[in-house]
Each structure stands twice: as structure tokens, then as C-alpha cells.
């Protein structure tokens, strides 16, 4: 059982299935009705299928509704999916995406209250409370990470330091001087902080830091083990996306075995990414989410592209909210190299199995004489570089074999010195694809 004090909002984590389903169905019917009335795109698509809100009589009826996609937000930029007038909208955020215009998301006052509440529950699940001093190194601004986590931490009663990402020297000073007990950031930025803290000579032993709450990008269990070991903290995975609310969609609890989805606000399905068919619990597929309480932009059956599966066993923490496995990758993250499908997270997992590799890596794709080339650049410890050439070659070979074992493809591994690979202040860029550049053809 949970041994930390529980915030009153967290009691919703422990509803009986009947109580939860009643809340979910009532909210689903309300959100569908609301979208049908206020969002032309949803109404038109439902009408095309001969559907109206009266067709939603059970939770499984959601599967009849049409999907929504990121392109729907882009095509209706900036406010085309808003179901409330701007006078009701108190906050906007935007997600930059990789191409063109960002997607814009809005929140009513009630949406802000829900967001704050799910983030409070998230932090409570990580064992944090009003005694904690939190260094919030998620970026503040249009990105949802900083402000989303900020309001949750404040509502929990913790002391929040809104430091945002970057400025590593100042991060370390604050961590040392302000008695910081918990930090929020992307896992890749925290890796960078680990190195910088170790370089101070005093390391982590004089710090009060005990918990890290990490998310916004894929990371592996091997990366968690590295972080926990090097920093001597507990590292929790949190998940969310701007289109649904921001951080606060799902979180790990003290058991660190899967992420509890806040199902009273987000209805989840797992679908086959190719066919869109709903998959049975336990099968891996694409997470599809329906917001059950969002007012400003209700999202119905939103295709997240995030790949995971539902864990069916109950969690030892006592929460009745179902869990999903760590998001291993995005369906659109897949790179195809010489016809083989590869996800960056597979390469990360393979590399971290090999001793002396550091979790700083980058995958560089190029094309030579019409053939795809994959180079994996990996940083290794300084001591390793001082070692004999034969030892380096040996290490290179081990990594290459580990990658081949996992993805079935021979990659050219290049060992690089510390700090060669650019450090991120937010989400890490793992893949550089030069295959379309004329010079490499």
C-alpha cells in the first residue's frame, strides 16, 4: 500500500470499477453531445456515418465514433476545433511539431482545474507532498510541460522553483542552495545535469534530491536504471500530450511498473495502427484517447501515434486506474533502413546493455550509392578513450552486435568523446536523417 500522505484529489485513483464506469459513461455522453453541437468537423463526420449523440449508450460505443488526428488540428488552425467561445478560454498553449504551423490548444477555467488536479495526482503518486522543494526544469512557455507541472505542484502544497529548462550552472546552484528534493525535466536533460553535477567534484552526495519526474520523450528502463544509479534518486515516468491536456494523462506510482491512466478524465483504447481496429487488453498498439471532461477542445478518439499496451493486472499500490506500459516509441518515429523497421528506442536499449556506453547517442542516416547507411554515434567514458585501441575496437564490436541482435541490422558504430553529441534542454533529437540531401546520394 501507499505509505505517503494522499492528496484529496487522489481518492479518484481508487474508485471501484462500477463507480469509474458510471462517471466515464456520463462524461462520454456529455462530451459527445457537446462536440456534436459545437464542433462542425465532429458533427459532419458523425453524420456521414449516420451517428448522433443518442447512439452512445455504453463505453464500448465509443468505437463507432470517427477518429481525430493531429492533421485535424493543423487543418483547422488556430481555433477551428474549439467548442467554447474565446471569452471562456483562459489559456492557450501550442506544440511546435516538426513542420509548418504549430497546433494550438486552449483551456477553460474548468479545464485548468482538471489539469491541475491530474498533475497533483501525478505528483502525489510519485510520493511528493507539501514538504518537497521542486525544481521545475520543464520548459515554461507555449510547451505544456512547465506550467502544467507548476500548477499541480503548487496545488499539492510543495514549494515550486520555476527555473524552466537550460542554464545548467544555475540549475546546479539552485539544487545545491535551495535544498531541492525533487526535479522535473526531460530524461535527456537530466542526463546532461548528471554529468554537470558529477563534474563539480562533490556529486550528488551533498544534495537533498530524492525524486525525479521525467517525461515528454521516450526513454527506456535501462535509462532509468542509469539515472537512479548515478543520481541516487527514484526516477518516475510521466506521460501526456498537448492535444489531450499536456502532462498529467498517465503516471507511474511508487511501484514504477507501468503508468496509471487518469481514466476518469481520459478514456483509452488501444488500436491496430494500420487498420484502426480496437485491440484486446494486453496487446500492443496505438493509444487512442478521448477527453471526458475537456471543454475548450474536446478530443474524441484522438490517434496519439504512441505505441503501448494495457496492463491488465491490478497494481500493488492499490490504485484501480488501469496502467499502460512505458511508451516504447511512436508509430511515426519508425525509420526504415534498407527495408528494416527500426525505432530509436530499440537502439538505445541495445546500447545500454553494453558496459561503458553512456546514454548519449545519435543516429545518423545517409545514403551512399543508393544504399541507406546507418551510423550510431555513442559517447564513451573518458577512461575508455585512454584505453588501448584494441579495447575500443572491442567495445565498438560489442555495440554493433547488440544492435544487430535487437534490430537485425548491422550498424556502423562510432565511439565519440564526451560532450560530442549536442545536449538538449528539452526533448532530445535522436535521429539525423541526411538521406534526402543531394550530397549524400
- Chain residues binding ligand DLL by CB under 6 A are 95, 138, 144-145, 215-218, 237-242, 246-247, 304, 306, 327, 330
Nearer to ligand DLL, 20 or 240 (CB): 240
Residue 146 or 298 with smaller CB distance to ligand DLL = 146
- Of 216 and 310, CB closest to ligand DLL: 216
Cα–Cα distance measured from residue 276 to residue 270, given in angstroms and rounded to the nearest whole number: 9
Closer residue to ligand DLL in complex, CB, 189/239: 239
The DSSP secondary structure of 224-282, one letter per residue, reads HHHHHHHH-SEEEEEEEETTTTEEEEEEE-TT-SSEEE-TTTEEEEEE-TTT-PBPPTT
Q: Output 127 or 148, the one with its CB closest to ligand DLL.
A: 148
Q: How far is the CB of 235 from ligand DLL (least distance, A)?
A: 11
Q: How far is the CB of 289 from ligand DLL (least distance, A)?
A: 10
Assigned C-alpha cell, 352 = 545500454
β partners of residue 364 = 375, 432
Distance CA 95, CA 136 (A): 19
Cβ–Cβ under 8 Å, residues 323 and 259: yes
Residue nearest to ligand DLL (CB): 215
Q: Decide: 219 and 187 in contact? Cβ < 8 Å.
A: yes
Question: Nearest distance from residue 109's CB to ligand DLL, in Å?
Answer: 21
> What are 366's strand-pairing partners?
373
Least distance in Å: CB of 100 to ligand DLL? 15
Q: Which three cell numbers stand for residue 91?
A: 489559456
- If the CB atoms of residues 79 and 140 are measured against ligand DLL, the closer one turns out to be 140
Shortest gap between Cβ of 380 and ligand DLL (angstroms)? 26
Please state the closest distance from residue 248 (CB atom) to ligand DLL, in A: 8
Helix H or strand E segment including 152: helix 144-156
Amino acid at each position: 500500500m501507499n505509505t505517503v500522505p494522499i492528496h484529496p484529489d487522489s481518492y479518484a485513483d481508487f474508485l471501484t470499477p462500477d463507480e469509474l464506469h458510471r462517471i466515464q459513461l456520463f462524461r462520454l455522453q456529455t462530451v459527445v453531445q457537446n462536440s456534436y453541437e459545437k464542433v462542425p468537423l465532429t458533427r459532419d463526420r458523425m453524420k456521414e456515418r449516420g451517428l448522433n449523440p443518442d447512439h452512445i449508450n455504453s463505453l464500448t460505443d465509443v468505437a463507432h465514433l470517427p477518429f481525430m488526428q493531429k492533421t485535424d488540428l493543423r487543418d483547422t488552425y488556430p481555433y477551428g476545433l474549439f467548442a467554447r467561445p474565446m471569452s471562456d478560454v483562459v489559456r492557450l498553449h501550442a506544440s511546435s511539431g516538426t513542420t509548418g504551423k504549430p497546433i494550438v490548444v486552449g483551456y477553460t477555467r474548468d479545464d485548468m482545474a482538471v489539469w491541475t488536479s491530474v498533475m497533483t495526482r501525478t505528483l502525489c503518486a510519485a510520493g511528493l507532498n507539501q514538504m518537497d522543494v521542486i525544481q521545475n526544469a520543464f520548459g515554461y512557455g507555449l510547451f505544456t510541460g512547465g506550467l502544467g507541472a507548476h500548477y499541480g505542484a503548487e496545488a499539492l502544497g510543495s514549494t515550486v522553483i520555476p527555473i524552466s529548462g537550460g542554464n545548467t550552472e544555475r540549475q546546479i546552484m539552485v539544487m545545491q542552495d535551495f535544498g531541492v528534493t525533487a526535479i522535473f525535466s526531460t530524461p535527456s536533460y537530466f542526463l546532461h545535469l548528471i554529468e554537470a553535477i558529477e563534474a563539480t567534484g562533490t556529486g550528488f552526495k551533498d544534495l537533498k534530491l530524492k525524486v525525479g519526474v521525467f517525461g515528454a520523450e521516450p526513454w527506456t528502463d535501462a535509462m532509468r536504471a542509469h539515472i537512479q544509479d548515478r543520481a541516487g534518486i527514484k526516477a518516475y515516468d510521466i506521460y501526456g500530450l498537448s492535444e489531450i491536456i499536456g502532462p498529467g494523462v498517465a503516471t507511474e506510482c511508487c511501484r514504477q511498473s507501468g503508468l496509471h491512466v487518469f481514466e476518469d478524465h481520459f478514456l483509452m483504447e488501444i488500436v491496430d495502427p494500420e487498420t484502426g481496429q480496437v485491440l484486446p487488453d494486453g496487446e500492443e498498439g496505438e493509444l487512442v484517447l478521448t477527453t471526458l471532461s475537456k471543454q475548450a477542445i474536446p478530443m474524441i478518439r484522438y490517434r496519439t501515434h504512441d505505441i503501448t499496451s494495457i496492463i491488465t493486472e491490478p497494481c500493488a499500490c492499490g490504485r484501480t486506474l488501469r496502467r499502460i506500459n512505458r511508451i516504447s516509441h511512436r508509430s511515426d518515429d519508425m525509420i526504415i533502413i534498407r527495408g528494416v523497421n527500426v525505432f530509436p528506442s530499440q537502439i538505445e536499449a541495445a546500447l545500454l546493455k553494453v558496459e561503458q556506453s553512456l546514454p548519449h547517442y545519435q543516429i545518423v542516416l545517409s545514403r551512399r550509392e543508393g544504399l541507406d547507411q546507418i551510423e550510431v554515434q555513442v559517447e564513451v567514458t573518458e577512461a575508455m578513450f585512454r584505453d588501448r585501441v584494441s579495447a575500443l575496437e572491442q567495445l565498438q564490436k560489442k555495440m554493433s552486435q547488440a544492435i544487430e541482435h535487437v534490430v537485425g541490422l548491422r550498424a556502423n558504430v562510432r565511439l565519440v568523446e564526451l560532450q560530442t553529441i549536442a545536449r538538449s534542454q528539452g526533448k532530445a533529437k535522436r535521429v539525423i536523417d541526411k538521406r534526402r540531401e543531394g550530397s549524400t546520394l
